A and B are shown apart, each in its own frame.
Chain A
């Protein structure tokens, strides 16, 4: 019985190993974008590491950054504005199930005390709807984030492909 159990176990392991889609567990040796982790600075509310995606005039673009709230009190991101697009909104890409990705607006995003909130590709982003000008690599975009407590924070983001 022991042999059988052993072989069954071995067999099961083999089956698991063999039938997994190859590469599904393959870890990337080096992250594609090695970003310096943002640290929370006590008594400071910092928006850092901003960049925006290239986009064509009349098209869409998005900005990504990190918010480090070291103020010791919760805040809320209530909006964004810019002069490069007809509308500037806070959006979030989310998993809509069955392999589908969707996007929704976040009109009120809690920013907890002593937390770091990352706006990154495939997640939270400030979205520029219908760009009034082309955003090309090397350009800079200025936009403003509106927080309930921290007030308005101006951000300058270099334009990149990724």
Chain B
């Protein structure tokens, strides 16, 4: 399962490739033969690691509402510092709570290793965003209650919801998928349903380009906090 915990995007993959090559320069073979082989290898090497274009979400510019009731534009309003985004729905007790708790813990870890972030309004302060894919039930008021129950009601946390079209636009671009998995009626006669959903946390850079895509509940906060600190 660990293999799928984190997917690295674009440029950084090549940086690492370069470092790896430098470790294997002396094999003691005939120089000409070696050169030919190395050209072949280098070609193979580069073609297999060809850089995918960095995925940017900057053009999304979608109107959402945060848990404070403020209308926001995503990602525009959060540009300028990195974003750690967890995708959840608040009626989900297990995985989504873990994703939310992970984002909370990442914030603490990043703050601990970057003392200037103790001030929530610090210029470099990352945005820690929890975005719902169940806008029908997750109203801004519901998101506010959810944020409060995790002690995440204040800056730098942002719990985002919106109208179903806006949320659908974001989730399609972010490749977050959902389907109703469990449908029941509660003792009080209300429909209760659960969703199967992608388990994701994204790290976006200050320009809203994807840096990492994580298994949201499977990746340890320590690792994600380290990656976010490296973006600061």
Listed in ascending order, the chain A residues whose CB lies under 8 Å from chain B are 3-4, 6-7, 10-11, 14-15, 17-19, 21-28, 30-32, 53-57, 59-62, 86-87, 91, 93, 96, 98-105, 121-122, 125, 127-130, 134-137, 161-162
Stretch of B71-79, B96-104, B117-125 contacting A (4+ beta carbons < 8 Å): B96-104
A28 touches B24 (CB 8 A): no
Complex contacts, B4 vs chain A, CB 8 Å: 24, 99
A101 touches B151 (CB 8 A): no
B37 touches A4 (CB 8 A): yes
CA distance A142 to B6 in the complex (A): 37
Q: Closest Cβ of chain A: how far from B68's Cβ, in Å?
A: 17
Q: Closest Cβ of chain A: how far from B226's Cβ, in Å?
A: 9
Listed in ascending order, the chain B residues whose CB lies under 8 Å from chain A are 2-8, 12-13, 16-17, 20-21, 24, 27, 29-30, 33, 37, 40-41, 44-45, 48-49, 90-95, 97-98, 101-102, 104-105, 145-146, 148-151, 177, 179, 181-182, 184, 186-188, 190, 192, 194, 196-200, 215, 217-218, 220-223, 227
Interface hub of A6, A27, A55, A98 (most chain B Cβ within 10 A): A55
Q: Quick one: which of A30, A96, A122, A130 contacts B192, CB cutoff 8 A?
A: A130
CA distance A96 to B177 in the complex (A): 12
20 further A-B pairs in the complex, CB-CB below 8 A; given A99-B4, A101-B199, A125-B93: A3-B37, A7-B27, A11-B37, A11-B40, A15-B45, A18-B21, A24-B5, A53-B97, A59-B91, A60-B90, A86-B188, A100-B177, A101-B196, A103-B95, A105-B182, A127-B93, A130-B187, A161-B101, A161-B104, A161-B151
A21 touches B13 (CB 8 A): yes
A59 touches B49 (CB 8 A): no
Residue of A nearest to B47 (CB): A15
A21 touches B17 (CB 8 A): no
Known: A10-B24, A100-B177, A101-B95. A54 touches B150 (CB 8 A): yes
B181 touches A102 (CB 8 A): yes
A59 touches B90 (CB 8 A): yes
B217 touches A56 (CB 8 A): no
Complex contacts, B97 vs chain A, CB 8 Å: 53-55, 61-62, 121
A99 touches B44 (CB 8 A): no
Q: Closest Cβ of chain B: how far from A99's Cβ, in Å?
A: 5
Main secondary structure of the interface of A (DSSP, over half): mixed
Complex contacts, A136 vs chain B, CB 8 Å: 149
Q: Quick one: which of A31, A59, A60, A161 contacts B145, CB cutoff 8 A?
A: A59
Known: A87-B186, A127-B93, A137-B151. A30 touches B197 (CB 8 A): no
A100 touches B198 (CB 8 A): yes
Residue of B nearest to A24 (CB): B3
Q: Closest Cβ of chain A: how far from B188's Cβ, in Å?
A: 6
CA distance A152 to B60 in the complex (A): 53
Complex contacts, B93 vs chain A, CB 8 Å: 53, 55, 60-62, 91, 125, 127-128
CA distance A110 to B198 in the complex (A): 29
Residue of A nearest to B147 (CB): A56
Q: Quick one: which of B98, B145, B187 contacts A87, CB cutoff 8 A?
A: B187
Complex contacts, A7 vs chain B, CB 8 Å: 27, 29, 37, 41
Q: Quick one: which of B6, B37, B101 contacts A21, CB cutoff 8 A?
A: B6
CA distance A124 to B218 in the complex (A): 15
CA distance A62 to B95 in the complex (A): 10
Q: Closest Cβ of chain A: how far from B148's Cβ, in Å?
A: 7
